Structure 1
Amino acid sequence: MKRKTIISIILAACFMICAAALCVSAADEKIMTSKNGLYRYTLDENNKATIVAYSGTDETVITISRIDGKYAVGAIGDSVFAASTTLKEVTIYSSVTKIGAGAFMGCTSLEKINFHGNCNITEIGDDAFYGCTALKEFKIAKSIKTVGASAFQNCTSVSLDFSDASSLTSIGSYAFAGCATASGNKFAVEIPASLTDIGYGAFYGCSGITSFWVENGNTKFSSEDGVLYSENGGVLEMFPVSSSAINDGAFTVPSHVKKIKGGAFAGITGLEKLVISEGTTEIGGNAFYSCKSLEEIVLPESLKTLGSYVFLDCTSLKSVTIPEAVTDIGAFLFRGCSSLESVKLPSSLTEIPTGMFDSCSAIKKIDIPSGVKKISQYAFNYCTKLTDITVPSATTEIEACAFRYCSSLESIKLENVRTIGPFVFQNCSSLESIYAPHITIIPSFAFTNCTVLSKIEFSKDITSVGAYAFFACDLLEDFEITPSIESIGDFAFSKCVKFKKAVIPATLKSLGIGVFSASGIESVVIEYGFTVIPERTFESCKKLSSVTLPSNIEEISSSAFTDCVLIKDVGELPGLKKVGSGAFYGCRSLTRIYVGSEDTSITAGAFYGCDALVNVTIPARVKTVEAMAFAYCTMLDTVTFEEGTEYISSSAFSGCTKLTKLSLPSTLNIISSGAFAGCTKLYDFSVPKGVIYIGENAFQSTKWLANQKGDFVVAGDGVLIKYQGRSAIQTMTIPSNVKRLPAYCIVDAGSSLSLIIIPSNVEYIAKYAFAKIVQSQNSSGETVENYRIRYVTLCARKGTYAEVFANHEYYTFEELK
């Protein structure tokens, strides 16, 4: 126990010492502000300042020397001057040893950097001068040891001077990429003996570089004719963009080169022909990226490895022979080679790598070696002129997007292919036929927008058809849904305008959304056992006239038959429990309605625009008729409600221009806005006494409303529907039989109205009850009408609802004596 106590004390003491050290450290890093308020800085143990923030905005010239004339600046911190668009010139004193990451990044007006006295900077951080497009020159001083990644990237006007760079040890990736592209300045890069690390793409696209020269004593690099090699010449490290080693557009890689490093020739625009001598075994990724003038390349028989993106965007390259010894090929080898017409592949190839010919838009024919077992994803993506391709019998797998947008491909045989990936033939707009007798799974988007596809042959044992698999296959007339198929994905046959009929077997376990939507299907049979018709299944099937549903159907989901204009009915459905919103929307020939046994509402838009409906009875179990449920059923004559309905939503029967007879139930409480608006022949009905709310324009343009007498139209349980008296009045007295004032009920009163007398029995006033209509002009000069609250004086008994409303809504209240 004593031992444990001693250990605990020691640990506690150590913790306190560490905490004290941290406090001291935190104190050392205290951020201070200069007297002029422009700089925030910290001090190190030698009282040297690191600038951490700069708040100036208008200065064009800055001198970095001392803070408040007292503390010498030792470092410029990260992002201190970043994105300053006014800064043009900076003078840096000899006390500064480090320029932090992004310190001057995006200073697009910065033209000149001066060093006062000797430059003692040893480190230039990542992105330090990135995008300083006006910077004219920069000399790598002898003190500088490291230049960070992208430090001068896209300094398009700069001329670089490496003549004094005797201490430089490391150049980061893309450090000088894109330099001097706008200035036309030409310069040589002198590699000092100390430099041992040059990052990937360090000089990519630096069009001012004419040559690399390596100082004697460098153990990592060497140079020959201005080209940068490894110390022993075995690796071609970097080729200068404006190299004089190119003779009449051609260059021959020396025989001592075993490897061409990734990105070595990237962005070389004057190179038209490249001969790689025997002995080279490896070409790294992006080696010839964007060599847009390269038309011809000779690869040696010794070559074994080609990295990813080697010929990316070599837009003039026309033909390539890949030697037989090549066994390792990276992804997207020829991507974007838009002039490439022919490629000879090694006979030993067993796989077409990912994206190998992606966007090779000129290639018309390719001979795939007989031993290829797999065609990888994006292999021929966007080969828009590819017309002739034979898939070998050894090929068993084709991955996603392999032939996507091969818009000239007319037919393809996949004799032994077992699997194909999603999007594999998407947008092959000329593809007429496919033979794939062993395919059992048709993946998502496999043949989307194959607009002329008409002949298909797959396995008889297909188990699934993925989402959008045959979407917009305009000429596809038939696809048998066999008992082996367990699932069909969303919109699988949508927009197949020639598709005529379908039988959905009871064995199908999953049917997605919109499977046949907007297709040309004319008849459908759904076998017994299938219980749910999913959303949008037959939406906009304007030729569908024959529908056979099983008696056990339980649910017709939202928009299932929307705009099926020829459907008259879907049979007797004794097991129907639910009907979704818009289920029969726009079914202009439908002669009856369907309400599920569990439905307590007729859903929104369920029978909108069903012009053939004449007589409708709303069952007692329906509590709500939702918005636009029967809107614009233009032949609807009679609507009968069984007792039970409580709520008729907005525009539920609007636009039913032939509706003449309406029987509303005594259970009704609410008639919402526009519920019967535009029912111009409606006159034979009465509003039940239990109705406590009637929305704006609920009976607009009906004969019933037109036949109402008196200044105030009151219905239901004292609901003021409309004021229709004189417009030019100053005082309005609400009748004593009014209990409820809904929104916009007195809009027809003129602007002179200033006082409203409200009876004591009023128990509800809507916020916009007293609103008026005002006219204004929109931005197009058109006159538009809007509602605005009318702040009149409300006169009523003290203690009534009217007083409470007035106080809450800021109306002037006057007591009625």
Structure 2
Amino acid sequence: MLPASLLSIGDEAFSGCENLGYVVIGDGVKTIGQQAFYNCNHMLELSLGWDLETVGDKAFQGCIMLSQIIKLPDNVKSVGTYSFADCTLLKGIHIGKSLETIGLVAFSNCRDLLTVTVDEENPNFTAVDNILYTKDMTSVELCPTARADAYEMPASVTGVAPGAFFMCGSVPSVTLSDNVTEIGDWAFAMCETLPELKLPASLVRLGDHAFDMCTSVKSVSIGDKLEYVGKYAFNGLALVENFDIPSTVSHIGASAFAGCIAMKSLAIPEGVTAVEDATFQNCTALQSITIPESVTSIGDFAFQFCMKLPEINLPDAVTTIGQSALYACVGLKELTLPSELTYIGPWGIAGCPELKKITCGDKLQMVDYHAFDYLSSLTEINLPNSLVIISKNAFEGCSKLTEINLGTSLETIDEGAFINCSGLKSLHFHDALTFIGAEAFKGCRAITAVTSDAAVPPVIDNDNAFVATVYNKAQLAVPAESLDAYKEAESWKKFVNITAQSSAIGEIGADIDDSDAAPVYYNMNGIRVDNPAPGLYIVKRGTKVNKEYVTRP
């Protein structure tokens, strides 16, 4: 028994005290802090004092031996999130006169919880047939986890509170009121015995995780007023083959249909602006998806492991494709990327072994790391002139790619970008290129011709962008005025066969007077030098490039 003089019990005060068996909270205590008795897993009996007003989050979570009916004293106003969660033997809960708020899933996983009663003088709550409602009977607040009877919702109910039926795994069926407009977060999550979902025509908002992991559901019907589908709303409904989403829906949250492994087709309504993260992840039977023109982004993992999807038409308005968005869509054979697309995320279109052709729009700027990783059948891709960066390992293992247009604006080819692209035969670097990462073309032994238009040799990291076979046998063609610079630049000088090509810059310079242009200095390795010391440099004035000896700073 705690001292009578005690006014509050602090956060984690007795957390994990396994030897506590009988706990009597004195009448003077007004507050029990967060996790105060968390995981006191040998607590057998609990008595709460009459002056108690607040029970904190997780205060008694995990007290697995409590097997009584908890009586909340009349002064208790709030019970926190997870406050009695995982008290698996708890039999019931009695709510006193003053309770105003109950935290999310306060009694979740109380597997033996069967009775819920409320003091008649409580102005906020009432209980009917051991179901907790708001006093006016407009919202269902709590169904005891051990309930094994079917439930028919009163017509007065317009909302289902967050977590109201969470983990009610024995309820065989639920009939929703025709007046329900909102189903809260986690409301029916893990109700594992529900056979079907009939969502009323009145429903407007479906909260996050609303029916998450309701694994026995075989069919879902949705009314024509629904506007909002929260994240994970239908996650893991593995037996449902069809979802008919009404045209009124304007938002579909992340992972909303993830793990719906029987779903074969779905049409996203016009007005939805994003396919959010993991929305259709692991929809392994999905064969048809309709994406409206209103969509502007495809989130991370959006269609990951949609292995039976033979094609996907991405709207032209899409500007970004996120990480692993189309990863392991092994049924794809051709893909046309949106005209407005500027960015493809890491592993964005990787692991699609049957994909042979990719058509890019003309605004793509960045291909992130491993974006096209191991597209082992890819033979054709048209990288646009807008492309600036090819990141690490972007095309790793694209072994059937024999040629690729790298685009005139490309500045960076990062480490391992084309590693093991063993079919590549030729490369053409344009004059915007300034950097090639280490092992960028490792394993590309078939390369026989390399052309570089860059007047200043691009920097090559770690001196090993190409394999020895390429350095020894491939022909390197460079601007005539930069021939000596390439022969002296690190890594480039390892090419045995370096020849001059006609210089577009030199031709332009013949007709333009660049004598007044400010000089830009580069050392013989192609690295820009802002304050050159005396010595030999590559000097660029406007469109003209020459080697000059600087005699003084």
TM normalised by structure 1 equals 0.56
Q: 1:303 to 1:461 in 2, by over 3 A?
A: closer
Larger displacement relative to structure 2 (449-458 or 492-501):
449-458
Deviation at 1:407, TM superposition (A): 2.5
User: Does the 8 Å CA contact 2:421/2:444 hold for their aligned counterparts?
Assistant: yes
Which residue type is aligned with residue 125 of structure 1? G
Partners of 1:349 and 1:186 lie apart in 2 by 40
Deviation at 1:199, TM superposition (A): 1.9
Report SS of the residue matched to 1:413: coil
Partners of 1:141 and 1:231 lie apart in 2 by 25
User: Does the 8 Å CA contact 1:159/1:186 hold for their aligned counterparts?
Assistant: yes
Deviation at 1:202, TM superposition (A): 1.4
The aligned runs of 1:238-253 (5 Å cut-off) are 238-243=142-147, 246-247=148-149, 250-253=150-153
Report SS of the residue matched to 2:194: coil
Provide the residue aligned with 1:579 in structure 2: 490
Provide the residue aligned with 1:140 in structure 2: 48
Query: Larger relative CO (CA 8 A, sep 6+): 1 or 2?
Result: 2
C-alpha deviations, 1:263-304, integer Å up to 9, x for none? Answer: 111111102321102111111111112222222122211111
User: Does the 8 Å CA contact 1:466/1:488 hold for their aligned counterparts?
Assistant: yes
Deviation at 1:361, TM superposition (A): 2.7
Partners of 1:382 and 1:145 lie apart in 2 by 46
Provide the residue aligned with 1:27 in structure 2: none
Report SS of the residue matched to 1:526: strand
Determine whether 1:277 maps to 2:187. Answer: no
Provide the residue aligned with 2:128 in structure 1: 224
Determine whether 1:294 maps to 2:191. Answer: no
Provide the residue aligned with 1:178 in structure 2: 86
Q: 1:166 to 1:434 in 2, by over 3 A?
A: same
Deviation at 1:102, TM superposition (A): 1.0
Which residue type is aligned with residue 433 of structure 1? E
User: Does the 8 Å CA contact 1:447/1:470 hold for their aligned counterparts?
Assistant: yes
Partners of 2:95 and 2:48 lie apart in 1 by 11
Partners of 2:72 and 2:283 lie apart in 1 by 50
Partners of 2:213 and 2:454 lie apart in 1 by 61
Determine whether 1:153 maps to 2:61. Answer: yes
Which residue type is aligned with residue 70 of structure 2? F
Which residue type is aligned with residue 116 of structure 2? F
Partners of 2:454 and 2:242 lie apart in 1 by 61
Provide the residue aligned with 2:512 in structure 1: none
Deviation at 1:539, TM superposition (A): 1.5
Provide the residue aligned with 1:433 in structure 2: 334
Q: 1:395 to 1:187 in 2, by over 3 A?
A: closer
Q: Note the aligned Cα RMSD (angstroms).
A: 3.0
Q: 1:512 to 1:218 in 2, by over 3 A?
A: same
Partners of 1:569 and 1:279 lie apart in 2 by 77
Q: 1:143 to 1:461 in 2, by over 3 A?
A: closer
Provide the residue aligned with 1:534 in structure 2: 437
Determine whether 1:206 maps to 2:114. Answer: no
C-alpha deviations, 1:229-266, integer Å up to 9, x for none? Answer: 011111111111112xx43xx21111111111011111
Which residue type is aligned with residue 217 of structure 1? E
Partners of 1:332 and 1:131 lie apart in 2 by 29
C-alpha deviations, 1:500-525, integer Å up to 9, x for none? Answer: 12344554333333221121233223
The answer for unaligned runs of 5 or more in structure 1 is: 1-90, 585-589, 600-620, 622-817
Determine whether 1:352 maps to 2:252. Answer: yes
C-alpha deviations, 1:736-755, integer Å up to 9, x for none? Answer: xxxxxxxxxxxxxxxxxxxx
The aligned runs of 1:13-32 (5 Å cut-off) are none
Provide the residue aligned with 1:94 in structure 2: 4
The answer for unaligned runs of 5 or more in structure 2 is: 477-482, 499-521, 526-535, 537-553
Report SS of the residue matched to 1:162: strand
* 1:519 paired residue among 395, 405, 421: 421
* 2:97 paired residue among 180, 183, 193: 193
User: Does the 8 Å CA contact 1:540/1:561 hold for their aligned counterparts?
Assistant: no
Deviation at 1:496, TM superposition (A): 0.8
Report SS of the residue matched to 1:558: helix
Q: 1:353 to 1:450 in 2, by over 3 A?
A: same
Larger displacement relative to structure 2 (254-263 or 501-510):
501-510
C-alpha deviations, 1:577-629, integer Å up to 9, x for none? Answer: 54269x97xxxxx8799xx9857xxxxxxxxxxxxxxxxxxxxx9xxxxxxxx
Which protein is bigger by CA-based radius of gyration?
1
C-alpha deviations, 1:37-71, integer Å up to 9, x for none? Answer: xxxxxxxxxxxxxxxxxxxxxxxxxxxxxxxxxxx
User: Does the 8 Å CA contact 1:541/1:564 hold for their aligned counterparts?
Assistant: no
Determine whether 1:104 maps to 2:104. Answer: no
User: Does the 8 Å CA contact 2:216/2:239 hold for their aligned counterparts?
Assistant: yes
Provide the residue aligned with 1:807 in structure 2: none
Q: 1:164 to 1:480 in 2, by over 3 A?
A: closer
Report SS of the residue matched to 1:312: coil
User: Does the 8 Å CA contact 2:231/2:253 hold for their aligned counterparts?
Assistant: yes
Q: 1:106 to 1:510 in 2, by over 3 A?
A: same
Which residue type is aligned with residue 313 of structure 1? M
Which residue type is aligned with residue 110 of structure 1? L
User: Does the 8 Å CA contact 2:317/2:341 hold for their aligned counterparts?
Assistant: no
* 1:422 paired residue among 314, 322, 325: 322
Report SS of the residue matched to 1:381: coil
Partners of 1:199 and 1:352 lie apart in 2 by 26
* 1:337 paired residue among 233, 237, 241: 237
Report SS of the residue matched to 2:6: coil
Deviation at 1:210, TM superposition (A): 0.7
Which residue type is aligned with residue 355 of structure 2? L
Provide the residue aligned with 2:263 in structure 1: 363
Which residue type is aligned with residue 440 of structure 2? T
User: Does the 8 Å CA contact 1:557/1:578 hold for their aligned counterparts?
Assistant: no
Partners of 1:126 and 1:331 lie apart in 2 by 28
Q: 1:505 to 1:348 in 2, by over 3 A?
A: closer
Report SS of the residue matched to 1:574: helix
Provide the residue aligned with 2:36 in structure 1: 128
* 1:312 paired residue among 212, 218, 224: 212
Report SS of the residue matched to 1:568: helix
Deviation at 1:307, TM superposition (A): 1.4
Q: 1:418 to 1:96 in 2, by over 3 A?
A: closer
The aligned runs of 1:37-52 (5 Å cut-off) are none
The aligned runs of 1:573-652 (5 Å cut-off) are 573-576=483-486, 577-579=488-490, 598=524
Deviation at 1:175, TM superposition (A): 0.9
Partners of 2:49 and 2:462 lie apart in 1 by 73
Partners of 2:275 and 2:352 lie apart in 1 by 20
Which residue type is aligned with residue 430 of structure 1? G
C-alpha deviations, 1:453-509, integer Å up to 9, x for none? Answer: 113233355444343321211111122334343433332212111111234455433
User: Does the 8 Å CA contact 1:543/1:564 hold for their aligned counterparts?
Assistant: no
User: Does the 8 Å CA contact 1:362/1:383 hold for their aligned counterparts?
Assistant: yes
Q: 1:321 to 1:528 in 2, by over 3 A?
A: closer
Partners of 1:316 and 1:413 lie apart in 2 by 32
Deviation at 1:559, TM superposition (A): 5.1
Report SS of the residue matched to 2:427: strand
C-alpha deviations, 1:159-190, integer Å up to 9, x for none? Answer: 244347333332222110111x2xxx452211
Q: 1:548 to 1:265 in 2, by over 3 A?
A: same
Report SS of the residue matched to 1:452: coil
- Of all paired residues, the percent bearing the same amino acid is 28
Q: 1:503 to 1:125 in 2, by over 3 A?
A: closer
Partners of 1:194 and 1:367 lie apart in 2 by 48
Partners of 2:451 and 2:465 lie apart in 1 by 13
Report SS of the residue matched to 1:575: helix
Report SS of the residue matched to 2:114: strand
Partners of 2:300 and 2:311 lie apart in 1 by 18
Which residue type is aligned with residue 265 of structure 2? K
Which residue type is aligned with residue 339 of structure 1? L
User: Does the 8 Å CA contact 2:228/2:249 hold for their aligned counterparts?
Assistant: no
Which residue type is aligned with residue 224 of structure 1? V
Provide the residue aligned with 1:455 in structure 2: 357
Deviation at 1:532, TM superposition (A): 4.3
Deviation at 1:528, TM superposition (A): 5.7
